[in-house]
Amino acid sequence: MRVEACLDFPEEEVDAIEFSQAERQLQASRVALDEVRARAKQGSLLRGGLQVVLAGQPNVGKSSLLNRLAGEERAIVTDIAGTTRDALREAIQIEGVPIHVIDTAGLRETGDAIERIGIERSWSEIARADVVLHLLDIRLGWTQDDDVIEAKLPAGIEHIVVANKIDAAEIASFEAWRAGRLWIGLSARTGEGIPLLQHALLRAGGWREGIEDAFLARQRHLDALDRAGRCLDRAQGLLTRTELFAEELRLAQAALSEITGELTPDDLLGEIFSRFCIGK
């Protein structure tokens, strides 16, 4: 309101903007908004759960991993590549958070018409995923086919590489960053390393320990909060350019108003006149 008053009534005796004070207030607003976003994200996870898609080449252990996470034999597991032809879904919980796990057909070039349909459906599931678990056989490592799969993943999607079959390779489970990707080494057959994957999924979904007052936000609420956050981030670099600074604050307010109810220009003027002695 002080920024708006300085812009709209420059001839009045309104204190000029103190940039250090404005920066402190802006930083406090960003911290408060980040906390609301975290609580909203928690609530959204509890409300709708996390969509996790198992993707990768054939015969890397996707169905075995689904069975391990589900705690029972839900998917057919064989040594024949291409056994899974269609998406198989299983709902589980990790620390009370609903996780919807989708096993998909192995991603490869094939002349089998039915398998091709399954692969197309796999990509459709990946496009709707919150997190993609990109499985590979650790004995073969990262291959050119994995490069092809990664290149086709939607931009911005959470992506964890699961290096399966550590039991066959006779190595211990691990969690590491490699070439900018999070890698989890585990065995879907024995269960070694599964806790590492479970915790990584919660982190990827934005789950934070110790937040008890989460509220059940909808996706449109999360989108509005994200837009407001981006506006405040841009405003940080525009403190000395008052008109642009004010515009980013207006946009942030407009985004938040989609949640709380619209704030009109008349509302803003009313607030200004109630706070400052303008026109006297």
Contacting residues for 89 by C-beta, under 8 A, at least 6 apart = 100, 101, 102, 103
pLDDT band at 265; cut points 50, 70, 90: low
Q: What pLDDT is attached to residue 229? A: 85
pLDDT tens-digit series, residues 160-175: 999 999 999 999 999 9
**Which range is least confidently modeled, 1-15, 63-77, 176-190, 191-205?**
1-15
| Residue 245 CB partners (closer than 8 Å, separation 6+) | 3, 22, 235, 238, 239
In this predicted model, what pLDDT tens digit does every residue of 144-165 receive, in sequence order?
989 988 888 888 788 999 999 9
**pLDDT value at position 277?**
56
